[in-house]
């Protein structure tokens, strides 16, 4: 295991970040009971990721956010057919 507090970098495409932001935002709005968490630390990490996305992304605050989110979802989803 890494040293305590050592940083780990995860790279996301802009589309992945937008989709993750929407997912975490809905989770926060519906309450932590909407997914099974095994420890409060898991909740803390999800909130921290959401806060980082909120301070990074500009799309959620734009008037065409829903259109941008829909495009991002289409780009990220698996092509099943």
Domain containing 61: what range?
14-76
Backbone CA torsion sign across 25, 27, 74, 18: positive
Q: Look at residue 59 and tell me if it is in a domain.
A: yes
Question: In the chain, how many domains are there?
Answer: 1
Residue 27: Cβ-neighbour burial (10 angstroms; 0-12, 13-18, 19+): middle
> Does some domain include residue 4?
no
Model-level pTM?
A: 0.83
Residue 56 lies in a domain: yes
Sequence-distant (6+) residues with CB within 8 A of 28 are: 47, 50
In tens, the pLDDT along 3-51 reads 788 888 999 999 999 999 999 998 888 776 667 788 989 889 999 999 9
């Amino acid at each position: 295991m890494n040293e305590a507090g050592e940083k780990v970098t995860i790279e996301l495409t802009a589309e992945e970040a937008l989709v993750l932001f929407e997912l975490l935002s809905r989770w926060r709005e519906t309450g932590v009971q909407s997914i099974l968490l095994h420890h409060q630390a898991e909740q803390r990490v999800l909130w921290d990721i959401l806060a980082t996305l909120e301070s990074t992304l500009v799309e959620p605050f734009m008037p065409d956010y829903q259109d941008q989110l829909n495009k991002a979802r289409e780009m990220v989803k698996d092509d099943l057919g």
